[in-house]
Structure 1
């Protein structure tokens, strides 16, 4: 039985593996077991202005300083998760902001937040969700092995760069990756004629982006509701055995 399957059974209460694996250092060439491998993918296309980008970064940092998040991580079978964060825009632009980091309590979570505070803020042009998914899928298995592999994609627009989104999504799901979404519905400024021809962003993310066992969508009604949205979302994502929840949740400022 592969170790990932052993961990998955353990998180469901079928085996006592956590007691055996917790505290055991990974052997040379072996990935360290964690409850979840979580990739945070943050949109920095031109539709996200400097103030909105700052609200995103502050939101993620505040989430990792939240005591409830640390308690949720410590309550898992292994009591640790692995997290990495990158920004994305055009099909060929993905910048790794914080590499894979083991988080097992308030101190390591706060250090992750500090790195987000210190990260450079950059803005590019287009919105390639497909490129973000492809990049995220290649990040897994680099030092850690989780019961679940989750990609958290935040953005405020539809795919307009790179290969078809459906292709990237299908390939990621075939690898057992769960795709969750954080759609930012920004009502200012007034939508352009092009935007009016596009589907509502929350519907688009629900039908075209998210997928996999237990996948869900968090909708932030404006960037000022982003902090509360991302906190609720990550706390739900790190649960070792996530309880059934709504397919779509909404956060308001």
Structure 2
């Protein structure tokens, strides 16, 4: 596992090929040896390369991927409400207290944006949150994050798959691993979300959901059946994007503290078959929440869209 320093800037997704230079040197030596006298009698030993040893990892209480819906159904205003809801939640005293309660290990958090099956983007890179300063810095990084993906279909399976890749590539080893999917619609592209959800369960990863009910009030049931899964999995709801801030605050407190809410679907093939949550808890946000000022103070200016 490659060690990457925690940063708040999105990283390029390409990795340089390993060993290309060594291969060219070896090929050159073989060519020169073939030209030398007695080359036919020459004996070559296989090249010996040092093994690639993964760097050390930082133990943490929780590795959390925040997956933000940026599909066509999400307007610029709704995207801003999501992002300000997240940044305000990390400024909220109760969320800060929950993170500090994890002790010196803290939690590791990143944020991704997702839309259709081929469009996912690391928006805020992995950061270790152990004290109030690092927590507030992460909130500031969210405020500074533009919209990287503008439009496209809704591929929840692609978001889960990308989240699993992010968990595997970071420099942390969490006691728990969680992918937090927020969105306002059903999947209309890519593989069925439950197939990737089941893969996450097999890897020990919990998938939670936050269903926004502004367009389709049945999204919560869809998330409960097809998206969430793993130990302690749950889905929360927000009536609309205005009430998103309160919903994400309460959701983060549950995730960070490992508060048991309800059991989601178990691993496929488990004794008795998959346990489908007959009642993953649906914490309905009160309508009065829409009238509350967004957490964390005044809303920042509207974000632009980064050209792809």
Q: TM-score, normalised by structure 1?
A: 0.81
Whether contact under 8 Å (1:35, 1:78) holds in the other structure is no
Q: CA RMSD in A?
A: 1.8
With over 3 angstroms needed to count, the CA separation of the structure-2 counterparts of 1:114 and 1:77, relative to structure 1, is: closer
Q: Distance in 2 between matches of 1:31 and 1:119?
A: 27
What pairs with 1:96-245 in structure 2 (closer than 5 Å)? 96-121=122-147, 122-141=149-168, 142-187=170-215, 200-239=218-257, 241-244=258-261
Give the match's secondary structure for 2:128.
strand
Whether contact under 8 Å (1:151, 1:179) holds in the other structure is yes
Q: Distance in 1 between matches of 2:91 and 2:193?
A: 33
Tell me the residue number matched to 1:43: 69
- Greater Cα offset, 37-46 or 199-208: 199-208
- Cα distance, 1:112 vs. partner? 0.7
Structure with the greater alpha carbon radius of gyration? 2
Give the match's secondary structure for 1:250.
coil
- Greater Cα offset, 177-186 or 118-127: 118-127
Residue 40 of structure 2 corresponds to residue 33 of structure 1: no
Q: TM-score, normalised by structure 2?
A: 0.67
Q: Aligned to 1:247, which of 249, 257, 281?
A: 281
- Cα distance, 1:164 vs. partner? 2.0
Task: Give 4+ residue runs of structure 1 displaced > 3 Å after superposition.
Answer: 243-246
Q: Which stretches in structure 2 are left out of the alignment for 5+ residues? A: 1-53, 263-279, 291-308
Aligned residues between the structures: 216
- Cα distance, 1:243 vs. partner? 3.9
Q: Distance in 2 between matches of 1:244 and 1:157?
A: 23
Whether contact under 8 Å (1:149, 1:177) holds in the other structure is yes
Give the match's secondary structure for 1:90.
coil
Whether contact under 8 Å (2:96, 2:135) holds in the other structure is yes
Q: Distance in 1 between matches of 2:283 and 2:119?
A: 29
Tell me the residue number matched to 1:13: none
Q: Distance in 2 between matches of 1:131 and 1:210?
A: 14
Q: Distance in 2 between matches of 1:97 and 1:166?
A: 25
